[in-house]
């Protein structure tokens, strides 16, 4: 854990260094130690034009990036954590609108961390999707 940067600086550095996050158009805000990730709606995120609905892969990827961002907030090094596995639950269709996500680090290990993420649109209590994942923590230095 590093103390020479602030959580906000670590979050901004993670978001800025990842090209795929720019591809998604994802951003994130910190309120104290609580991070909310935001995926503004954009037509290129659509997977089903009939409904229309966000691509399920986009929702999964957004939540995975949310987990990595939350881990970047608590770790100091410049390297991001690496995904070992994720299990994605699809609960409701992801509609053509902004999506939000929050991560809970269930265990912050020295080598491996376990993170849960929920994503929602209109109501926090009605999540559209959730993931559980394990992540390999970056080695220091």
Binding site for other proteins (CB under 8 A): 17-20, 22-24, 43-50, 53-58, 60-62, 64-65, 79-80, 82-90, 93
The least distance separating other proteins from the CB of residue 44, rounded to whole angstroms, comes to 4
User: Between residues 59 and 73, which has the closer beta carbon with respect to other proteins?
Assistant: 59
| Of 57, 130, 45, 121, the residue nearest 90 (C-alpha) | 130
d(CA 65, CA 135): 11
The least distance separating other proteins from the CB of residue 89, rounded to whole angstroms, comes to 5
User: Between residues 79 and 124, which has the closer beta carbon with respect to other proteins?
Assistant: 79
d(CA 14, CA 2): 14
The least distance separating other proteins from the CB of residue 32, rounded to whole angstroms, comes to 27
Q: Is the dihedral of CA 35, 36, 40, 46 positive or negative?
A: positive
User: Between residues 3 and 38, which has the closer beta carbon with respect to other proteins?
Assistant: 38
User: Between residues 33 and 138, which has the closer beta carbon with respect to other proteins?
Assistant: 138
d(CA 15, CA 109): 22
d(CA 28, CA 7): 12
């Amino acid at each position: 854990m590093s103390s020479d940067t602030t959580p906000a600086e670590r979050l901004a550095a993670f978001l800025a260094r990842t090209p795929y996050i720019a591809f998604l158009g994802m951003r994130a805000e910190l309120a104290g130690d609580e991070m909310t990730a935001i995926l503004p709606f954009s037509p290129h995120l659509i997977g089903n034009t009939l409904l229309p609905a966000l691509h399920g892969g986009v929702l999964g990827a957004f939540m995975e990036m949310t987990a990595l961002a939350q881990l970047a907030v608590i770790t100091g090094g410049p390297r991001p954590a690496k995904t070992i596995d994720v299990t994605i639950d699809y609960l409701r269709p992801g509609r053509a609108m902004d999506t939000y996500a929050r991560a809970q680090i269930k265990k912050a290990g020295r080598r491996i961390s376990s993170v849960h993420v929920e994503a929602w649109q209109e109501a926090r209590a009605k999540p559209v999707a959730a993931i559980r994942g394990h992540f390999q923590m970056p080695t220091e230095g």
